[in-house]
A = this chain, B = another copy of it.
């Protein structure tokens, strides 16, 4: 393999870390993890990912002189539960993870969030390494230190900010993703262009096929996304301000996930985000904030990449405008009953728009639903 791309995340208080991006990083992970210190590195993964990469990662850790172990959970969002969290913590304790040791999260966003939260709270905090194996996790969830699980009362309501000590994004692992998972992750890639980097969105329009096929464009895109996210996280680690921009497309997207019962057969997170991005731009255009042409360009590009961009595209439907509003109001980004959206003045020009009137949102959604 060639040298990986590196994105440094310069957090304070000795918490800075590197994100390495490249094909084949898992095979050489051991030396890099061992360089962090500690005697043991215990992997948390799901059964599917563990069967693909668990042995290779364990062998690499053991070769580097680390005692290793594996705690595997069932694949899927249902594992972000209190019960699985308890099982992972107890599994790590059974593997005798002590305060100086490491937890290694090997998998997609579910595994990263779950393992990160277990690491954040095991013995009041042990260090952890992210080895994201989905495009979504490589460009989004593995970077930035948000960890957590779901409550029956809502997604990601329980958790901790806990930064990894190292992120190894082995882009060869994406070769085994389904087309649907690739597309879903790609929605988050395009999002970075839409938030604040019009040039990157141009580049995506020209090069997106290389990301899917595993050309050098893939590593480059992952690195650009990680660099963008790292910048935001360093400036606003706890989402008191700017970090909320990363939620572009997510207020609508989360509502759609909720209304489809988080059934991945109907809608996965990235598909909700794709629809949400298209809606955020069309809503911005309707409010006179953004050229209609930009909204059209966003929807066209996402559709070209195979992603849904309308409420009609939700299999089984998503209810009426009031159901959507209710689902949005349950989102944790609601403050004092007022809806906060991330809107845009154009591609690459997003901003936080608090206090958006529900009547305006309702009228917009009714038109979107009627436009079938």
Contacts and interface: CB of A to CB of B under 8 A. Distances in A.
A124 B238 CA distance: 9
Interface string A72-112: 00000000001101100110011000110000000000000
Contacts of A160: 120-121, 124-125, 160
This chain: copies in complex: 2
16 contacts: A39-B336, A82-B85, A82-B86, A90-B153, A93-B153, A93-B154, A93-B157, A98-B335, A120-B160, A121-B160, A122-B158, A123-B157, A124-B148, A124-B161, A125-B160, A160-B160
A122 B157 contact: yes
Interface string A308-348: 00000000000000000000000010011000000000000
A350 to B, nearest CB: 22
Given A82-B86, A98-B335, A121 B153 contact: no
A160 B86 CA distance: 15
Nearest to A93: B153
Interface residues of A, number: 33
Contact of A158 (B89, B98, B146): B89
Given A82-B82, A93-B154, A124-B238, 14 more contacts: A82-B83, A82-B85, A89-B151, A90-B152, A93-B151, A93-B157, A94-B153, A120-B160, A121-B148, A123-B157, A123-B158, A124-B146, A124-B148, A125-B160
